[in-house]
Amino acid sequence: MDTRLLHTFTTLARTGSFTAAAAELHLAQSTVTVHIRALERELDARLFDRLPTGALLTDTGRRLLERAEDVLDAVARLRADGDGAGGVGGRVVVGTPESLCTTRLPGVVAALRTSHPEVDIQLYAGGTAQCVEGLRAGRLDVALLLEKETDFPDVTTEAVAREPLAFVCAPGHPLAARADAVTWAELGTESVFLLEQGCSYSDELERRLLSVPGARPRLTRFGSVDAARSCVTAGLGVTLLPMTTVRDHLGDGRLVRLVGPPFADVPVRLARHRRRWTSPAVQAFVQELVRQFPH
């Protein structure tokens, strides 16, 4: 069996679109169609229902998808074993929260350029839900999650570092002059800027604020660290962000760190699909990640 047909099959199953699959595989859409028809003839089974909204796996297609992925993993292992003398190389697609993408990971990528120049790292910013879905769909090789605990039956995680968090506000904010610790009750009366739903530490902060008796915080969610930080820098309220994302602002006086109520650092968890093979390129990325990240 031509493994190119299996590659096209798994890509179409993941994207659900002939157009998207063709773009990802750098093929003409007609070629994708030819590959799928050839595979269906060889297996004597219909793998997709062609619908106006896209390509939907049939029951047979769903049963065969896992086996097709196993075959492609086995082929990748054989190729890696055959190329062992030629050094480590290949593409590694990493899902990561925006804060790590802009602060921690550039150093990892730079170090890999020196130690393993043939390894190509592609970063995609996303929250936990997007990263886990990407691992399940095969779009990501590994992911980093900012989560205290995880429980995914098909995704394994391990803590590789901890990310310190900081309550911050603008120098002119009324709380900035406080020498003693700010209480939960006081934060419960403030405008607080959080990251979007699914950010573990923002979600926990919201739960804590709303659990304070009589508290009525004004909570605003943003899709990016930069947006939340900019609002706080303008004096509009308070936020809780990873220290790496506010260190420069604290250093030049645009922000000040509050002595806030206790809030634990958040673990950085390395996530991988439980069944998928870990290539030498992924192993090289993980080793450099552990070396570069603070523990």
Q: What is the pLDDT of residues 210-240, one digit of tens each?
A: 999 988 899 999 988 999 999 999 999 999 9
Across the range 196-211, mean pLDDT stands at 90
Q: Which two tokens stand for residue 267?
A: 């673990």
Answer whether residue 77 shows pLDDT above 90: no
Burial classification of residue 66, based on how many CB atoms lie within 10 Å of its CB (0-12 exposed, 13-18 middle, 19 or more buried): exposed
DSSP 3-state assignment of 98? helix
- The CA distance from 32 to 110, in Å, is 36
Q: Which two tokens stand for residue 51?
A: 């619908």
Q: What confidence score (pLDDT) does residue 198 get?
A: 81
Using one digit for the tens of pLDDT, what is the confidence trace for 87-124? 667 788 999 988 898 888 999 999 999 988 888 899 99
- For the chain, what percent of residues have pLDDT higher than 90? 50
Contact between residue 46 and residue 60 where contact means Cβ atoms under 8 Å apart: yes
Arithmetic mean of pLDDT over the chain: 88
Q: What confidence score (pLDDT) does residue 255 get?
A: 97
Per 3-state DSSP, the chain is made up of helix, strand and coil in percentages (nearest 5) of 50, 25, 30
Q: Give the chain's domains with CATH numbers.
A: 3-82 (1.10.10.10), 88-163+267-292 (3.40.190.10), 165-263 (3.40.190.10)
Across the range 157-186, mean pLDDT stands at 92
Q: What confidence score (pLDDT) does residue 80 get?
A: 61
Q: Can you say how many angstroms the Cα of residue 4 is from the centroid of all Cα atoms in its chain?
A: 28
What single-letter amino acid sits at 195? L
Residue from 67, 71, 77, 74 nearest 281 by CA: 77
Q: Which two tokens stand for residue 294?
A: 């603070």
Q: Which two tokens stand for residue 219?
A: 């909570």
